[in-house]
Amino acid sequence: MPSQRDIRRRINASRNIRQITRAMQFVAASKLRRAQESTLAARPYSELLDEILADLAAVLGSDEHPLLSRREEGKRLIVLITSDRGLAGPLNTNTIRFASKEIVEHPGELELVSVGRKGRDAMRRARVPIIAHFAGFGDRPAFDDILPLARLISDEYEAGTYNQVDIVFTRFVSTLVQRADMVQLLPIKASADTRGVPGSQFIFEPAPEIVLDELLPRYVGTRLYQAALESTASFFSSQMVAMKNATENADELIDDLTLSYNKARQAHITSELIEIASGAQAR
């Protein structure tokens, strides 16, 4: 049975851990509010841009712009977005497992771009070829932070290196729910319903090439930016819940250790009383 000193030491250690996890919970909660507001505010723009590009892809050919081209030859590229830090429950593990399952179920020539240290380390251990790595975009991702990644993907796709580009990330559903997801970035999926497009025709001003040169790279950047925002909000949400659970577990452990300490102390007092009584009788 542990001594009273050992139990007191464990109680003090548990209290220190509880103090840390509680502080991390409050910090994650404050950052989650900003991240959630940014994610929800950016969704309407991203969704509307998706609809516009889907309609354009349905009526325009690959000759209009290289990012609209569909090809059979080439490799597949997966952009895996995770976090640099841990202490966020099963968030990164679920995203990495989702990406690994996708790679195993769809074999073929494949390369990967990692965003975040957790995904990079896991894919290195799995010996998945990584062509580029980007550090996490911080607590408040900015659109400018995404541009180097978007430029790399656009240039490689236009060069014909890849025939498909997918993004694997964690979608923010609610504070308690985050879901690993995958969306196809390139080629742009054509809309199945073009009835909303008058005559399936667009009028471009000044010219289709000029409009698409401005619109399509922004589409790539916007899709990646939205995925980064979703992942950031998911990280802080998962971290807040994980730290809350850790704090509650520390409270339960402290209660159990305090009970054990009181029992040990009572047993020690009882033992001393028996020794005193036995000594008195011996006289």
Report pLDDT digits (tens) over 117-157: 999 999 999 999 999 999 878 788 888 889 999 999 998 98
**91, 238 Cβ separation under 8 angstroms:** yes
CA atoms within 13 A on the CB side of 71: 20
What is the share, in percent, of the chain residues with pLDDT greater than 70? 88
Conformation bin of residue 170: beta by default, left when phi > 0, alpha when psi is -120 to 50: beta
**68, 60 Cβ separation under 8 angstroms:** yes
Tell me the per-residue pLDDT of 209-241, one tens digit each, with 9 for 90 and over.
777 777 888 889 999 999 999 999 999 999 999
Note if the pTM is more than 0.85. Answer: no
In this prediction, residue 61 carries a pLDDT of 65
In this prediction, residue 229 carries a pLDDT of 93
Q: Quickly state the pLDDT bin for 196 (edges 50, 70, 90).
A: low
Q: Quickly state the pLDDT bin for 62 (edges 50, 70, 90).
A: low
Q: Where are the beta strands (DSSP E) in the chain?
A: 75-81, 110-115, 130-134, 162-172, 178-186
Nearest Cα to 51, choosing from 228, 232, 215?
A: 215
Mean pLDDT for all residues in the chain? 85
